[in-house]
Structure 1
Amino acid sequence: MPLTPIIPFEPTSTDIIPDEDNWVAQVKWDGVRVLTYWDGNQVKLYNRKKNERTFHYPELLPIQTYCKAKSVILDGEIISLGSDGKPSFHEVMRRDGVRRLERVKQVRKDVPICYMIFDVIYCDGQWLTERSLLERSEILSRIIVPGEHVQLVTSHEDAEALFQVIKEHEMEGIVIKDLSSTYLINGKDPRWRKKKFYRDLIAVVGGVTLRDTIVNSLLLGLFDRDGRLWYIGHAGTGRLTRKDWLELTRGIKPLIISTMPFANKPSRWKETIWLKPEITVKVNFAEWSVGHTLRQPSIQAFVDVPPHECLLP
């Protein structure tokens, strides 16, 4: 029977690693979540939002070369390595973001991918959602044949040690999973938990955007050695409270200027209110992306640091 796309199980965020024996940890691969559907007749690929990606990754379509099941739904992450040998979200998006499918053949040569499989939801005509993660992992190890474009995600008993390795290599983070956990379709609960490794820096605020007359996003920058302020990204999420946003809205009034303070043009500049670069904030982020902007910046707090000490690395 045709298999209908589902929304996959998602982990909750955590800062604490469980110390019980029934938990395992896996690398949180920095890629694109993709589920593979094989009904015995055809293979289809869909992302977490149920958007089809079948033709973006032709390497995965001959499923019988890497999966022994007669029908299956696999869950995993498609990754691509950057020049530093680490998974690069920017690189994999060069594949996933292709809109003209005739370009896939060329982009495939430029951006090789690997499918990191970590779960099986359906196998040989049976749903496995009520089976434990331990049982599903055993089934997965029997049906998957690793190869050039397909690998099984390994599980580690020492989550703390794995996280230290992730930090040393400056990768995205880990996912900690309860071995007794069933698979919750279209759900999210703490039986799966993600602990991300973030870097941080102190950035200068060079502009803001508003929503309903209240500041809702900051345009961030760092100075170079010549005193020029370079835009590095914008952030509207993090630990600031509504009170913090209201106070900031009132506090920026004497700093408003008519000209852009950045040496380069931000990606978001229309309807931006430019500011004298005097406010500094601590920002957590996942990585520097191509173009030297921050990926997933998150505002932690305003800090009392002189702006010209906030320098590009």
Structure 2
Amino acid sequence: MEPIVPFEPVRHETIPLTGEWIAQIKWDGVRLLTYDDGRGVWLGNRRGRDRTKHYPELVEVQRYCRCQSVILDGEVIALGPDGKPSFHEVMRRDGIRRMERVEGMLSVAPITYMVFDVLYLNGVWLTKRPFTERQNMLADILLPDQSVQLVTNHNDATALFEVVKEFGMEGIVMKRPESPYLVAGKNDNWVKVKNYKDVVAVIGGYTLADSGKVNALLLGLYNGEGELWYIGHSGTGKLTEKEWGALTGILQLQEIDERPFANTPDRRKNAYWIVPKYTVKVQFAEWTSHGTLRQASIQAFVDMDPHKCVFESV
């Protein structure tokens, strides 16, 4: 099986009030597709990167799915200390680069695979079938356990969104009952409504504390002309002191003489510029009138092509 590019929802600021919709919780995790052709199993992220060794809990597909062959679509999540899905926690697993560390992380950062679609089953592609039909088939074949769960469907999107807000979760996704699954597509058949704002931004520079450790990241997005524009800085978030320390050594190896930003950052005094190759997920309150992020908070590093971090995606 060749990896596919998954269907993506379009972002809406408010819940659509017209038409028929099925709503699901949007989990703050990492997109993961499971491929089982009957001869072997392969796990891949939205970019087609191999994640099979990252999540050994999910390799035995026959344990949680009645099938001869299948492609499942879902999201891997991990819970934070507050019992809510935490992007930072799941990235402790997804960001592992030395595979010998995986076994030790199974109990430190346990994951759950939240499955929301089935694209292929027993030799038959289902992508052209209606969403509701795929959901019925998925409910019939999935065998939930502590590592795998079926994402539930809700008819009242407004009520679901209120629950999501109450518990401080990421948001909801609304899907039209008749919608096919558009491989490598993105349209209004699937709509996401966020409870809070976030963006994946590029690191273009940093500042140091008196201790010599990084204390703030300077962030940017690319415009339509391929220029990196400064959008603000952040020195807070989910990174631990140990992670800030490790980051210091990584960024110092990427230093360059000229700033990579087309505009002039307000936090340029004592800033160090770097090659814009690293990306982070940033949660923020709002955009200011100056085009910068207010109350930006670093959530985790993200495996993303920096040039896809563009204003048009926000």
TM-score by length of structure 1 reads: 0.69
1:168 to partner: Cα distance = 1.4
Q: Which amino acid aligns with 1:173?
A: G
1:280 to partner: Cα distance = 7.8
Choose 1 or 2 for highest CA Rg: 1
Contact 1:26 1:176 in 2 (8 A): yes
Q: Which amino acid aligns with 2:84?
A: K
Task: Point out where structure 1 has 5 or more consecutive residues left out of the alignment.
Answer: 224-230, 232-244, 261-267, 273-278, 292-297, 300-313
Residue in 1 that maps onto 2:99? 101
* SS across alignment from 1:160: helix
* SS across alignment from 2:160: helix
Q: Which amino acid aligns with 2:133?
A: E
* SS across alignment from 2:136: helix
Contact 1:36 1:74 in 2 (8 A): yes
Residue in 2 that maps onto 1:7? 5
* SS across alignment from 1:25: strand
Measured at CA, do residues 199 and 5 of structure 1 come closer, stay the same or move farther in structure 2, by a change above 3 Å? closer
Q: For 1:19-168, list aligned pairs within 5 A.
A: 19-20=17-18, 22-168=20-166
Q: How many residues align?
A: 249
Q: Deviations over 1:38-67 (max 9, x none)?
A: 111211101110011011100011111110
1:207 to partner: Cα distance = 7.2
Q: For 1:272-291, list aligned pairs within 5 A.
A: 283=293, 289=299
Q: Deviations over 1:211-245 (max 9, x none)?
A: 99x8811443689xxxxxxx9xxxxxxxxxxxxx9
Measured at CA, do residues 289 and 215 of structure 1 come closer, stay the same or move farther in structure 2, by a change above 3 Å? closer
Q: Deviations over 1:130-167 (max 9, x none)?
A: 10000000000000011010000001111011111111
Q: Deviations over 1:191-220 (max 9, x none)?
A: 0000111169xxxx99788999x8811443
Alignment partners' CA distance in 1, 2:169 and 2:296? 8
* CA-atom RMSD in angstroms: 3.6
Bigger mean CA deviation after superposition, 160-169 or 45-54: 160-169
Q: Does residue 220 of structure 1 match 2:254? A: no
Alignment partners' CA distance in 1, 2:267 and 2:55? 48
Alignment partners' CA distance in 1, 2:79 and 2:34? 21
Identity across the alignment (%): 47
Contact 2:120 2:126 in 1 (8 A): yes
TM-score by length of structure 2 reads: 0.69
Alignment partners' CA distance in 1, 2:33 and 2:180? 17
Residue in 2 that maps onto 1:310? none
1:22 to partner: Cα distance = 2.5
Q: Deviations over 1:78-118 (max 9, x none)?
A: 00000010111111111111111111111112110000000
